[in-house]
Structure 1
Amino acid sequence: MKSYLSAGSFLLTGILVTLLLFSPATSHQFPDFTELVEKVEPSVVNISTFKETSSAQRAMPFPEEFFHFFGEDFRRFFGETPRNNRPDQQRRHSTSLGSGFIVSDDGYIVTNHHVIKEADEILVTLSDEREYKAEVIGGDSAYDLALLKINARGLPALPLGNSDDIRVGQWVFAVGNPFGLSGTVTAGVISARDRQIGQSVFDSFLQTDASINPGNSGGPLLNLSGEVIGINTAIVSSGQGLGFAIPINTLKASYEQLREEGRVSRGWLGVSLQRLTPELAQSLGAGQDTTGALVVSVGEGQPGDKAGLEEGDIIVSFDGQQVERYQDIFRFVARGVPGVQVPMEVLRDGRKHTLRVTLGERPDDLSADAGPSAQPPSAAATWEFQGVTFAMENQRVVVKTVDRDSHAYEAGVRQGMVVLRANGVAATDLSTLERAIESRSRNNYVNLLVSHQGSNRFIPFQIQP
């Protein structure tokens, strides 16, 4: 009797497992994209660009898009011909492939700026294989966006979603033309939000494991409602399942300017900033958990200068938005409207101040402000503190030597650096430097503002007992 019961229990368990595996609840865990793809695909376009080049560089065996994805080492390996082997100069045409999507029925198309950059001719191919020459209406290299126009009407435009509502783990799918294979669909999930991958200070990408390859650039990343929530733009070539997309709200914020003016004007403070570390915060009299961006230098006559910003200020909020991370301030200021006055909260000497700044317009072509170059120290009078020997050179305080076992060396103090300030006091000479360090150090930290290799930065180091 027991054997029959055991056999019956085993059979019943098997039936239950089978029902669970093939139940509707389980089968619906994975979305069916077929109807969505049929609806979306006609709105995704293939973009081919053509550029006349000289044979001083041999014809590339791969489209330009490959080099954007895989980097300059790939270009050097495949792209350059040694000078002594180059043939006579002649004109050639190079091509590049990318994707885009229709955003209005009268022919406006969005893609990446790098897809169409410096192109002599742009050809758009629709899903029904109709071809049109495209005109560049506007470009935004800072955010890698471009708006094109073709002479067509009655086109199927894609709806734009809200990328602020995206959640990690949410299903998404990408449509594009990787390697020229038009209409390719891949699916995955949102792996992370607000990713910084080193393309610019404005980085705030959506990360997805939906397969993205060269040629997908400029194509849409969509949610299960068929709305565009991102613009595919980059991959990490050394890994798998690491694709990145520009949040669609970035486009929505600048679309009208691109369409009407051909460019995007952004706010500008005219200051140099540095990432705030717990050590820096403590050395400036703030708590080690303080978040914000540290002001390293303020351009004379710039909006920040007119508002009263000073070196050593910690910007903790801008226009009512908390600066939780270093990158936040760049995005907040860039979203601002030139000429508009906004509030900005800073910490100065541990106390909070509210400033009002009238934003300028960010220059299109930014060049780094050249700070004073460090000069080799001379054998002038010196002062030693905590393993660092300071000296005067050309009426400036410079670092003459640094003990490699010191906290200062560990923090980044190096020979040849010019000391501009110590604990907020201008380092005009060695005696001033000594007084500032010995009387104004906070939380057992010395905070130096130094100039090195053309740029300024703060370096805090802990005082050894």
Structure 2
Amino acid sequence: MRLILQVLLLAAVTACLPHVSHAAENDSQATLAEALPKLVKLYGAGGFRGLEGYGTGFLASPDGHVVTSWGPLLDADRPVAVLGDGRRVEAKLVGADSASGLAVLKLDGPGAPFPHFDLAEAVDLAPGDRIFALSNMFRVAAGDEPVSVMHGMILAKAPLSARRGRFETSLDAPVYFLDSVTNNPGAAGGVIISLDGRIGGMIGRELRGESTETWINYAVPATVIAERIGLVIAGDEIAKPNPADADAPDNARRPIEVGLVMIPDVTARTPAFVSDVLDDSVAISAGFKRDDLILFGNGAPIRSIRELTTLLSRAERGDEIAVIVRRDGGLVTLTFLIP
């Protein structure tokens, strides 16, 4: 009798589950087969204090423009993009937008026209919409194998900075909150797409709540970043990278003058990591902490200690400096005045 009841219960539960037809499964396979070649695996600088040297990007033009999330990975002189067919192509940084945390690269090699997402057809998703999340999380793919695919749903669309317990971030628009664990190491720069294959958003960097210490799974809407990507590709960058000065002038304003003790500056690409903060200094008053990684300064990417020194040296006494630092997996905005 117990066996019969178990069989009947299993049949009842199965009947309540959503039925996935072979046609729907085939449609999903076709959607992914078309979308996956538009993703690239990125390799660059990393491995410093746990920062990954790999990530994800997506092709946004037939000419080979790749959009990804701005991060230390791009500190490399020539990041490498691995295409869906396994080809390894060097990429050049075109520009970045600190407000949305994106960067645009250009593939340096033949292959055009490249398969790409049409940003003009970006879909505005709503809570309850089903999505696929595509990324090279955990560096699962390295050659011609496809990146990872996750199935999920939009939980909400809301400002990231306004959520309780979150670090202040550079994002100035609402984001999609997802029900799947999408924001893993290496996933930043991946995409979420609708079930019919239209791009819905870019997976952001790993962030977690300040008080709850829980990781946030989110994506920046493609409808928000499409115009900004177009501006960067066209050469009208909202935040244009400044090349590092190879040799700082003798009268350069060093980070120590505002109270920032940096790690040893051994190469032109040494990341702007804060080793310590002096007491009773401008930096301590602004909220800097040990192990902060400075990513942006006044809207421009800070890719090295030397670029930070250049930023400080070009400022006049009394000028306000606004920086974005990475702290414990989150992004924090700090401001101070040049003394």
Superposition TM-score tier, normalisation by shorter sequence: 0.5 to 0.7
- Contact 1:137 1:262 survives alignment (8 Å): no
2:14 maps to 21
Matched ranges for 1:122-201 at <5 A:
122-150=79-107, 151=109, 152-160=111-119, 161-163=121-123, 165-182=124-141, 183-197=147-161, 198-200=168-170
Q: Distance in 1 between the 2:204 and 2:175 partners? A: 9
CA shift for structure 1 position 147: 1.2
CA deviations over 1:407-453 (Å, ceiling 9, x no partner): xxxxxxxxxxxxxxxxxxxxxxxxxxxxxxxxxxxxxxxxxxxxxx9
Give the deviation of 1:117 after TM superposition: 4.0
Deviation, structure 1 residue 366: 5.8
The within-5 A match list for 1:5-404 is 14=8, 18=11, 21-22=14-15, 26-28=18-20, 32=25, 33-50=28-45, 60=48, 62=50, 64-65=51-52, 96-114=53-71, 116-150=73-107, 151=109, 152-160=111-119, 161-163=121-123, 165-182=124-141, 183-197=147-161, 198-200=168-170, 202-212=172-182, 213-237=184-208, 238-239=213-214, 242-264=216-238, 367=321
List alignment gaps of at least 5 residues for structure 2: 142-146, 162-167, 240-318, 323-334
Answer yes or no: is the 8 Å Cα contact 1:193–1:205 preserved in 2.
Answer: yes
Could you say if the C-alpha distance between residues 211 and 171 of structure 1 is closer, same or farther in structure 2, counting changes exceeding 3 Å? same
**Alpha carbon RMSD of aligned pairs, Å?**
3.4
Give distance in 2, aligned partners of 1:252 and 1:148.
Answer: 15
Deviation at 1:20, TM superposition (A): 7.9
User: Do 1:195 and 1:207's aligned partners in 2 also have CA atoms closer than 8 Å?
Assistant: no
**Mean Cα deviation higher: 151-160 or 244-253:** 151-160
> Over residues 95-140 of structure 1, what are the superposed CA-to-partner deviations in whole Å (9 max), with x where a residue is unaligned?
x211001112221111112255433221000122100000112211
Is the contact made by 1:20 and 1:26 (CA closer than 8 Å) also made in structure 2?
A: no
Query: Partners of 2:88 and 2:57 in 1: how far apart?
Result: 14
For these two proteins, the number of residue pairs brought into alignment is 221
- Describe the shift of the 1:454–1:193 C-alpha distance in structure 2 as closer, same or farther (beyond 3 A): same
The answer to whether the 8 Å contact 2:188/2:206 transfers is no
Q: For 1:157 and 1:216, locate their aligned partners in 2 and report how far apart those are by CA, in whole Å.
A: 18
Between 1 and 2, higher relative CO (CA 8 Å, sep ≥ 6) is seen in 2
| Partner SS, residue 41 of structure 2 | strand
> Residues 200 and 104 from structure 1, CA distance in 2 versus in 1: closer, same or farther, beyond 3 angstroms?
closer
- Inter-CA distance 98–262: structure 2 relative to 1 (3 Å threshold): farther
For each residue in 1:169-213, what CA deviation from the matched residue of structure 2 results, as whole angstroms up to 9, or x when unmatched?
Answer: 111111111121121111211111023242136142111122220
Instruction: Please list every run of 5 or more consecutive structure 1 residues that lacks an aligned counterpart in the other structure.
Output: 1-6, 52-58, 66-95, 266-364, 369-452, 456-465
**TM-superposed deviation, 1:19:** 7.4
Contact 2:138-2:185 within 8 A present in 1 as well = yes
Residues 216-262 of structure 1 show CA distances to partners (whole Å, capped at 9, x for unaligned) of 1011111111111110013444336x311111112212222211215
Is the CA contact 1:115–1:218 (under 8 Å) kept in the aligned structure 2? no
Q: Which protein shows a greater Rg?
A: 1
TM-score with structure 1 setting the length: 0.42
